[in-house]
Each structure stands twice: as structure tokens, then as C-alpha cells.
Structure 1
Amino acid sequence: MNLSFLFVEWLGTPLWMWSSFFALVIAILSFDLGILHKQNKEIGVGESVRLSALYIALGLAFGGWVWWYLGSEAGLAYLTGFVVEKTLALDNVFVIALIFSFFAVPRLYQHRVLFWGILGVIVLRAIMIGVGATLVAEFAWLLYIFAAFLIVTGIKMLFVKEAEPDVSKNVLVRFMRSRFNVTEEHHGERFFVRKADPRTGAMTWFITPLFMALVMVEVADVIFAVDSVPAIFAITTDPFLVYTSNIFAILGLRALYFALAAMIHRFRYLKPALAIVLIFIGSKIFVADLLGLEKFPAALSLSITFAIIAAGVVWSLLKTRDPRQPA
């Protein structure tokens, strides 16, 4: 059998590397759904932390392979992208918690929504990153647009207080309720259910609140990708590193959600740290130009990014500590 096609490059990377990555992701998701969570169950904080540690370890191990096979520069770019995307994804947890609360999604089925949401993310991020990589390759000046956008977004996050989103007033929620048959109650783990139309008595299909929650989770990811995709392109323009760091960071979000949702109040001061990270990442391109560098040093970029995020986490945990607890 002629396997030479596996060495053909697609978006600058041999097909065998892309296919190996997708095979690994499919294996991870199959193990998660087919073995660990074959039956619907509530995930406690302890299990959430253990699963998160496993996913982080897998993401870092893949980064170690990238470092070994593609070199230290690629390895540092992947790790920086992984850390940034992982941290930006934390901001998504708050919105997901609001969605689950609004649709009264039972904890028993929250993992199911997040699992199918991840499949959508894998496809949507592939499309967005593929389009972004094509545009950046054709119009290099777009990187400066991305960088400026990140700086403006970071400044806005620092100084503009955003109101808590009202899911009930969301345009998409109102559209689904006005255009489709929607059940008021949940029907177990089902996204669709066939039942009698109360107006005509005829049997017809209804969408359940669980499906509406899934749609809103997918839309939330697209909105957050508007920040995260430019951020990763400002770190590296290699589509393989951009996509793999994105997906490995998001894979663990599903597991981490259940732990973070229980203690989201402890990360109250993480958002300013995220804002500073976006400003730093956006400014790197301009700083490199001013200093006459081809690109900002990858090792320095990772160190500064990690230090900002770590400071935000530590400060949050200290400021939200229960004063009744001993120091």
C-alpha cells in the first residue's frame, strides 16, 4: 500500500501529523464517554479535579512531543498557546453556569451537554482557525489588526464593567422559542422528543431545554473564540500549533467545569489578569518591531504569560479567602 500521501503537507504540516492528532482526540473522547461516563451521573468536585489533571497532563505531554519533534521554538509556542487558551477558557465557565442555571439543566445531564458541545467546538474551531491561517498567510498585515484588537479588548476588560448577561433576553433563545416547538420540561438526556402538539393534537417533534442549552454553549464558544483565536495567532501562525493547543486546552474544560463552577467566586480577580495577558500578547508584535526583532522571544513570552496568570490566581485566592479560616 502506498502511504506517501500521508507525507503531503496540509496547512504546512504533513497529513500524518494531523491524522495522528485527530485519532488521539477521538481515542480520548471515546474513553471518556464510552468507559468513564458510559452512564449519566453527577460529577463531583474530586472527580472533576482528577479528570482535569489527566487532561492537563495529556496536553502537556503532547506539548513535550511537539518540543521533541518540531523543536524548542515550536514547543514553547504550543505551551504558551495552551496556557493562554486554558486561562481564557476559564472565563467561559461563568457563562456556561448561567446557561445551565437558566435552563435548569440537572447536574446528571450537564456532562452530556458539555461532551457534545466539545464535538461542536472541534469543528467550529477548525473552520475558524483554517480561515484565519489562510487569511494571515495571504495578508500578513492582519496580524497587526489581531494584535490591536487584543489590546483594545484587554483595555476594555480592565476598565469597562460588563453587566451579567440575561439569557432570557438572548436573541437566539427567543428565536428558538418562537420558531420551534419547545418543551417546558426536560425529558431525561434527550435533545428531541416526539409528542402531541397541544394545539392540533398531532404527533410532532419538540426540542427540549437540554438541546437549547447545548446550542447556547456552542454559541458562547464562538463568541469566546473571537478573543482566543486572534490571541493564539499573535503567539504563532503555525495552524497545527494553533489548533492543537486550542483543542487540548478546551478538552479539559469540560472536566474542569464541575470543580470551577463550585468555586467560581474564588477567581473574582482572574479577569484583570486575563485582560493584562491579552494586552501583553497583542503588544508583543509591536514591541518586536520597535526592537528590530523578527519575533518576540518565545521563552520570555511564556514566562511573562505564566507569571501574569499565576499572579491573578494567587491574588484571587488570597482576596476571597474566608477570614474565619486560619491563615
Structure 2
Amino acid sequence: MDVPIWMWLAVLGVILAMLAVDLFAHRRAHVIGVREAATWSAVWVALGVGFGAVVWAAYGAERGQQYLAGYLIEKSLAVDNVFVWAIIFTYFAVPRELQHRVLFLGVLGALVFRGVFIAAGSVLIASFSWILYLFAALLLVTGYRMLAQRDEHIDPQRSRVLRLFRRHVPMTDAFHGQWLLVRSGGVLLATPLLAVLVLIEVTDIVFAVDSIPAIFAVTDEPFLVFTANAFAILGLRAMYFLLADLVHRFVYLKLGLALVLIWVGIKMALKVDVLYIPTTISLAVIATILTVAVVASLRATRGTTRRAVESPGEPPFRVASEAETAALEPTWRRHGRVRARG
């Protein structure tokens, strides 16, 4: 697949432009409702699927199906991210009006890290074909663990990342609006919002270890791997606000995701030296598994209304009063510094 440099630049330009539009539309902290989240979700899905149509028209049905299969895998695995984010935000009691900014920055970091992982994976596959067996084994093990632990969830209170962060980084005990850093008494301090951002970034890196090998099972074209990842990730913020209060309804989704990982792991192991399974079949199998999982979940929880994730106890941080936050501003001005707003 010969992708000219101008196409890479054009895709990156579209991504940056959409991020700028999204940031401008949410420049003021506010609670994002279901209707706004649904609108933005539709926009991002239309962009992702529309790009697949462009690939299909420019490079043929096989490449188009590879992109769509990769996009579907990444989009479905991203739903698991949504569940984890809901738990993290609930544990920290992050005000809803601040959540979009954290996710915006988290997505920026995710794009960078996944770009690095994709580049490394492409080099490894090109240099060592046997690495595909390692990726396949990783997917099979991850799928099995997801099956065995499908009723377990992340516990932020036991997070090593959070403990290390709080041990080595001076922090305030309260949220100060959208600020990630504040200066008090001449000392630069992190706010809990920065701790939340770090934890979300680390969890995405962990998820990427599973999702990047999964997409290499359906295509080894770096351009398709990156674009499928990028367009799937870009819609994550809107998806979170759309689905966060419906987490309890997707009771069989983790089972479906586990089966998808096992399927693509088997496909990857076979395609090295044994059997190449056509992309059309892979796409159909993935779509069928996910559709059955979602439909079965919604039927099993029929009649259940929206419900926020419940907090396991008292949140570790509080929201600072306007007076407390305002008291920090003269310190910043006195030192001639620009306030960090995240």
C-alpha cells in the first residue's frame, strides 16, 4: 500500500483541525449533556466511517475492509476505557464540568503514545516475522484473563500509579477549577486534576498494549493501523458522556470483547504460516460477536434507567471554594507566571 506523504499530512491536518474545533466548542467548563454527547458521537463516527469509504474508493475493497475491521476493533475496545474512566472520575469525585478537559488532554497523550507503539510494532513485524506469534499469544492470554475477570473492575484506591504520584509530587487537597498546577506560597503544586490525568493516561497505555496487537491481526499497514486508532480514539470523549451513565447495562460486553481478542489472536497465529482468513470473514465475525453482546446486554437489563457509577466511599479530594482559588491568583501574578489551566 503506497501512501504518499501528502496523505499522511492531510490526515494529521484533519485530526488537528477537529481537535481545535472540539477544544473551541468546549473552551468553557460545563456539564456535557446526553444530547450534546450524542451529536458529537455522531460526528466522530461519521468521520471514522467516512474515512473508511475514502480508503475503500482509493485502495480497493480489501484495504477498506481492513480499515473498517481495525476501526471496529478499536472502537469496541475503547468502550472498556469508558467504563474505567467512569470509575476513576467517580472515585475522585471529579466535577462533571471538568471531565471533558481531562479527557481532551488524555486523548492527545493517547494519540502520541499509540503513534509510538504503532511505529515500533511495524518495525518489529517487518524485521521479525515471528513477533506475530508473540502478539497472538498476548491477545489469547488477554482474552482469557478478560473472560476470567469479566466481573472485576479497576480499583483506583489500590493504584500504584496514584500512590507513587502522591508520594513524589506535592499536591493540593482540592480541585481548583480546570487548573492542573497552582502556585501557593511560592511552591508549585499539582492539583488532583493532574493526578486524574496521569492515571487516565497510564490506563490508556495499558489498554494500548492489547489493542495495538489486535489491529495488527487484521492489517499490517501502518497507515491503516494509525488512522483506525486515531478516529476511534477521537470519539472517546463524546462516547464517555453518552455511555457513562449506562455502564451497568452492558453486562455482556466484556465477554464479547474477550471473544473478539481470542478470535483475532487465533487469526494472527494462523496467518503467519498456516492459513489466511479473509478480512471479510474477520469483519463479519467481529461485528456479529459485538452485536450479539450489545443486544443481549440491553435485553437482559431492559427497563433499567441511566444511573451514575456509585462511589465506593468518601472521595479523597474536595472542590476548593471560589475564595480559595482566587487567593492563588495574586501569587501567580507576583511571580510573573502564566496560570496553568490544562
Q: TM-score normalized by structure 1?
A: 0.89
CA distance in structure 1 between the aligned counterparts of 2:6 and 2:244, rounded to whole angstroms: 38
**Between the two proteins, what is the percent identity of the paired residues?**
47
1:167 deviates by 1.1
Q: Summarize the Cα distance change of 1:171–1:159 in structure 2 as closer, same or farther, 3 Å threshold.
A: closer
4+ long deviations beyond 6 Å: none
**2:109 aligned residue (120, 127, 139):** 120
Letter in structure 1 aligned against 2:288: A
Q: Aligned equivalents of 2:160 and 2:231: distance in 1? A: 31
Q: d(CA) in 2 for partners of 1:318 and 1:147? A: 33
Q: Secondary structure at the match of 2:171?
A: coil
Aligned counterpart, 1:82: 71
Cross-structure match for 2:3: 13
Residue 282 (structure 2) aligns with: 301
Answer yes or no: is the 8 Å Cα contact 2:132–2:269 preserved in 1: no
1:319 pairs with one of 277, 296, 300: 300
Paired residue for 1:103, among 80, 92, 98? 92
Q: Tell me by how many angstroms 1:323 deviates.
A: 7.8
Question: What is the aligned residue count?
Answer: 305
Q: Which residue of 2 aligns with 1:247?
A: 230
Q: Does 1:220 align with 2:210?
A: no
Aligned CA-pair RMSD: 1.7
- 1:3-53 CA distance string (max 9 Å, x none): xxxxxxxx963211111110000011111111x212111101121111111
**SS of aligned partner of 2:154:** coil
Q: Which amino acid aligns with 2:90?
A: S
* Equivalent AA in structure 2 for residue 61 of structure 1: G
Q: Which residue pairs with 1:65 in the alignment? A: 54
Could you report, residue by residue, the CA deviation over 1:240-282 in whole angstroms, capped at 9, with x for unpaired residues? 1001000100110111101111111111110111111111111
Q: Out of 16, 25, 28, which is 2:18 matched to? A: 28
Q: C-alpha separation between the residues in 2 aligned to 1:103 and 1:286?
A: 41
Aligned with 1:133: secondary structure? Answer: helix
Aligned pairs for 1:127-276 within 5 A = 127-161=116-150, 163-196=152-185, 203-276=186-259
Q: Is the 8 A contact 2:118 2:212 kept in 1?
A: yes
Question: Aligned equivalents of 2:58 and 2:174: distance in 1?
Answer: 52
Question: 1: distance between equivalents of 2:112 and 2:286?
Answer: 27
Shift of 1:298: 0.9
SS at match of 2:182: strand
In structure 1, the gaps of 5 or more residues are 1-10, 197-202
- Asked whether the 8 Å contact 1:193–1:207 carries over to 2, the reply is yes
The TM-score normalised by the length of structure 2 is: 0.86
Q: Is the 8 A contact 2:44 2:235 kept in 1?
A: yes
> SS of the counterpart of 1:89?
helix
Q: Give the Cα separation in 2 of the matches to 1:108 and 1:301.
A: 40
How many angstroms apart in 1 are the aligned matches of 2:304 and 2:13?
Answer: 48
What is the alpha-carbon distance in structure 2 between the residues aligned to residue 166 and residue 190 of structure 1?
Answer: 25
Deviations 1:54-100 (A, max 9, x none): 10000000111111112111110000000010000000111111211
* Cα separation, 2, equivalents of 1:214 and 1:188: 14
Q: In structure 1, what is the Cα distance between the partners aligned to 2:176 and 2:141?
A: 44
**Structure-1 separation of matches of 2:210 and 2:281:** 22
